[in-house]
């Protein structure tokens, strides 16, 4: 099992009317196409930033192999499997995105149903970017560990008012570029202007 992150679909924080006005689009007959380009621009921004804009539920799964080597682990659980035992080095594990809340943490087991942790079994730090958790309890069947699943909410807020203005302006710039270069694949989606707007908010992972 590989490390994976699943979430709900992106939501463009810019109303269609504002996208049209910014890109000087006079033809408003195809709102679906405009909405699709707005969504594509939003996803490009989110991919560059390594963060989501509008709040959404996220499920992050970490395999046992990755528990000891994932670049997002900060002195996290370095699990050494020796016979039937696991020796955890307790520390913080960074999530794949910032989080406002962590709703569930589960151990995934090979031969049994997932084992849910109580909130007293782990600590949460949502003030860090990305957010991080610290596991305080091993599963009852340590030899059967195949992964860890964390469910959390990620995004700046429930609507566009929580998103910094430079990020929203970057979405508009990318939308305009997509609209002006439709059918042309030989152009830079993240321009220098967009990079200058987004760089202060970008999360970079090392390891």
The CATH number of 11-53+162-199 is 1.10.3230
Domain boundaries of the chain, sorted by first residue: 11-53+162-199, 56-154
- Residue 79: pLDDT band with limits 50, 70, 90: very low
Q: What is the pLDDT of residues 1-16, one digit of tens each?
A: 456 888 888 999 999 8
User: Running DSSP on this structure, what letter comes out for residue 82?
Assistant: E
Residue 18, burial from CB neighbour count under 10 angstroms (0-12, 13-18, 19+): middle
DSSP lists the bridge partners of residue 157 as 54
CA–CA gap between residue 133 and residue 92 (Å, rounded) = 6
Per-residue pLDDT tens over the stretch 123-161: 999 999 889 998 887 777 665 778 889 999 999 999 999
Question: What mean pLDDT comes out for the span 48-74?
Answer: 75
Whole-structure pTM value: 0.80
Task: Tell me the pLDDT tens digit for each residue of 149-200.
Answer: 999 999 999 999 999 999 999 999 999 898 887 665 666 788 899 999 999 9
How far is Cα 96 from Cα 2, in angstroms, rounded to an integer?
14
């Amino acid at each position: 099992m590989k490390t994976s992150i699943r979430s709900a679909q992106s939501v463009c924080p810019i109303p269609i009317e504002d996208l049209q006005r910014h890109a000087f689009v006079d033809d408003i007959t195809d709102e679906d196409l405009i909405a699709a380009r707005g969504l594509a621009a939003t996803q490009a921004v989110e991919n560059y930033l390594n963060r989501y804009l509008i709040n959404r539920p996220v499920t992050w799964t970490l395999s046992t192999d990755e528990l000891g080597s994932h670049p997002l682990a900060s002195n996290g659980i370095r699990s050494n499997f020796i016979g039937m035992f696991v020796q955890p080095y307790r520390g913080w594990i960074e999530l794949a995105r910032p989080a406002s809340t962590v709703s569930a943490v589960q151990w995934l087991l090979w031969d049994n149903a997932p084992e849910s942790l109580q909130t007293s079994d782990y600590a949460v730090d949502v003030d860090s970017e990305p957010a991080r958790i610290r596991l305080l309890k091993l599963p009852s069947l340590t030899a059967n560990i195949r992964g860890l699943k964390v469910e959390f909410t990620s995004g700046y807020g429930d609507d566009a008012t929580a998103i910094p203005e430079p990020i929203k302006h970057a979405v508009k710039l990318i939308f305009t570029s997509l609209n002006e270069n439709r059918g042309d694949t030989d152009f830079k989606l993240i321009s220098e202007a967009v990079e200058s707007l987004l760089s202060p908010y970008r999360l970079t992972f090392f390891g």
